[in-house]
Structure 1
Amino acid sequence: MEKMSALQQKMEDSFVEFCEKHGHEPRYANCEIEWQDDHDTCDVVFKLSCDVDESEDDKIFYYCNSVKDLQAMTEKGSEDFVITDIYSFEGDLL
Structure 2
Amino acid sequence: MYIFVTESSKRKQDRIDKYYKDFIGEYNTPAVSVLCEVTFTDDSSVQIVRVKLSLDIEENDDEFFFYCNGIEELKKLCDKTAENFIITEIDSFYAD
User: TM class by shorter-chain length?
Assistant: 0.7 to 0.9
* 62, 66, 84: which one aligns with 1:58: 62
How high is the TM-score relative to the length of structure 2?
0.85
> How big is the shift at 1:24?
1.4
Return the letter of the residue paired with 2:64: I
* 29, 36, 52: which one aligns with 1:47: 52
Q: Unaligned regions of 5+ residues in structure 1, if any? A: none
* 69, 83, 86: which one aligns with 2:90: 86
Q: Unaligned regions of 5+ residues in structure 2, if any? A: 1-7
> Match of 1:31, SS?
strand
Alpha-carbon distance in 1 for matches of 2:9, 2:84: 21
Q: How many residues align?
A: 89
Residue 9 of structure 1: aligned partner: 14
**Pairwise CA RMSD:** 1.5
Moved over 2 A (4+): 3-7
* 51, 62, 72: which one aligns with 1:68: 72
